[in-house]
Amino acid sequence: MSNYTMKKIFKIMKIKLQKISTLLTLILLLPLLALWGCDKRNNCCTVIDTAVQIYYKNTDGENLINSSEAFRQENIRIYYKNGVEYEYVYNGNLDAPNMHYVEEDKDGKKILTIFPSNYYNDNFSISLIELNEITVDTLLCEFAITNNSEICKNAWLNGTLLQNRYIEIAK
């Protein structure tokens, strides 16, 4: 073999060795990067069960929400008691950024689902439900709170205990 052929073979082998070296480096580093980038939080089993449902109806038993301009669902506002102040709540990153939504059930009732305040005072929180500037209700909730759960055990609307966190109220 000529000297030229040997140089060409060494050059090809050098390129192949560089590719193999790069491949081995990737094979070794990728698992390390994957492990390093893993989220170490252990919250796979957190339970948050706080929703409260209210069916607002008029004196004839018909839906109150969206029945008139005064009771449009767009006007509903939720306030959380934080210390001695009440704060209007809006979290744009949530599916229900105003901490409530209205959904029609199978019977055509417009049910207001509320996510009560998470400002606790001895496992209790207070939220105000403003249907309009005149109609405001007070929601008091009692919570069971552990390291991996936040559950509304009991709820009262204007002092009336809700059964299974649901109430029908005439206005």
Q: Which pLDDT tens digit goes with each residue over 11-46?
A: 666 676 676 667 666 576 666 556 666 555 555 788
CA–CA separation, 146 and 118 (whole Å)? 14
pLDDT at 13: 65
How many CA atoms are closer than 13 Å to the CA of 50, on its beta-carbon side?
26
**CA-only gyration radius of the chain, Å:** 30
Q: Is the pLDDT of residue 9 over 90?
A: no
Question: Is the Cα dihedral 131, 137, 142, 147 positive or negative?
Answer: positive
Q: Is the pLDDT of residue 3 over 80?
A: no
What SS3 class is residue 3? Answer: helix
CA–CA separation, 170 and 127 (whole Å)? 19
Q: Is residue 78 within 8 Å of 129, Cβ to Cβ?
A: yes
If you average pLDDT over residues 132-157, what whole number do you get?
96
Q: How confident is the model at residue 156 (pLDDT cuts 50, 70, 90)?
A: very high
pLDDT at 85: 96
β-bridge mates for residue 155, sequence order: 141
CA–CA separation, 152 and 167 (whole Å)? 15
pLDDT at 24: 61
pLDDT at 87: 96
pLDDT at 45: 83
76-133 confidence digits (pLDDT tens):
999 999 999 999 999 999 999 999 999 999 999 999 999 999 999 999 999 999 999 9
The residue ranges of every structural domain in the chain are: 1-40, 47-170
pLDDT at 40: 59
DSSP 85-131: EEEE---TTSSSTTSEEEEE-TTS-EEEEE------BTTEEEEEEES
